[in-house]
């Protein structure tokens, strides 16, 4: 009887151990959930503000339609001039981006300071009392309102841009000749100018909410016709002022909202 009881106890223990081992094999091991996958590209959506700095090239063309210079006692005339002035430019920008997957459409406005001054003096010779033409140009500031559209490749936004442009440009032109009465005549065009702009750029989302950008813009302003009365010339005289700009610049933007990634 004793041997039977011991055998039953041994059998029961073996069955229990086998059941526990089998249950352990059947139950799946616990694993931590996998990390959320990184988005296919960075996020640029939302409002942003920033600043920029760069270099601007101001191209100017002046046309003397009525041979105004030629009426100052000499046969010397200068029908038109072309000149390029370059200098530092800096400003601020703000905008908003809409993003669908890795495609971005946005609108941006900027205002920039540019002290681009230039004075050119033309004379047929260096003799005392010779006719002298002096042209002065001063581009004080400019701005744009543009759309931007592009694609995001990893952390880089590659975009094209275009829209409306405006600027403050002053032109002065003076002819001086000691042999005429009056000895000098001056005309000028001081006004805000309007036109269009187009360009391209790249923006890098390098940290949470922060991005760096680099862009190139071409700006063309509407031509201005200046008129005036010249007592030494043919009465009313007309001048064309034709202005355009190339701007290359870098900037930094801070985006409102969540992190870039």
CA end-to-end distance (rounded Å), the chain? 76
Q: Judge contact between 112 and 153, C-beta under 8 A.
A: no
Cis peptide before 34 (omega within 30 of 0): no
Task: Tell me the per-residue pLDDT of 221-248, one tens digit each, with 9 for 90 and over.
Answer: 999 999 988 887 778 999 999 999 999 9
> 50-54, 135-139, 223-227 — which is least confidently predicted?
223-227
Q: Is it true that domain 44-255 has CATH number 2.40.160?
A: yes
What kind and span of H or E run contains 199?
strand 184-207
Tell me what pLDDT residue 260 has: 43
pLDDT higher than 90, residue 55: yes
Where in 65-183 does DSSP place strands (E)? 80-100, 103-122, 132-153, 156-176
Q: Judge contact between 68 and 237, C-beta under 8 A.
A: yes
Tell me what the mean pLDDT of segment 182-199 comes to.
Answer: 91
pLDDT higher than 60, residue 83: yes
């Amino acid at each position: 009887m004793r041997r039977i009881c011991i055998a039953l106890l041994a059998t029961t223990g073996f069955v229990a151990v086998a059941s526990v081992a089998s249950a352990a094999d059947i139950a799946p091991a616990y694993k931590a959930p996998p990390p959320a996958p990184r988005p296919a590209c960075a996020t640029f959506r939302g409002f942003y503000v920033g600043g920029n700095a760069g270099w601007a090239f101001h191209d100017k063309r002046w046309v003397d339609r009525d041979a105004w210079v030629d009426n100052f006692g000499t046969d010397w005339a200068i029908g038109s001039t072309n000149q390029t002035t370059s200098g530092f430019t800096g400003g601020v920008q703000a905008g908003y981006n809409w993003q669908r997957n890795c495609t971005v459409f946005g609108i941006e406005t900027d205002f920039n300071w540019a002290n681009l001054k230039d004075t050119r003096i033309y004379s047929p010779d260096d003799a005392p009392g010779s006719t002298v033409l002096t042209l002065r140009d001063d581009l004080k500031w400019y701005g744009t309102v543009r759309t931007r559209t592009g694609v995001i490749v990893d952390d880089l936004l590659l975009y094209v841009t275009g829209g409306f442009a405006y600027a403050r440009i002053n032109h002065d032109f003076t002819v001086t000749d000691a042999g005429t009465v009056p000895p000098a005549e001056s005309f000028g065009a001081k006004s805000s100018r309007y036109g269009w702009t187009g360009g391209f750029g790249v923006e890098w989302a390098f940290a949470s909410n922060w991005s760096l950008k680099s862009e190139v813009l071409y700006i063309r302003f509407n031509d201005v016709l200046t008129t005036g009365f010249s007592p030494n010339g043919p009465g009313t005289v007309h001048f064309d002022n034709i202005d355009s700009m190339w701007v290359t610049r870098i900037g930094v933007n801070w985006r409102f909202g969540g992190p870039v990634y």
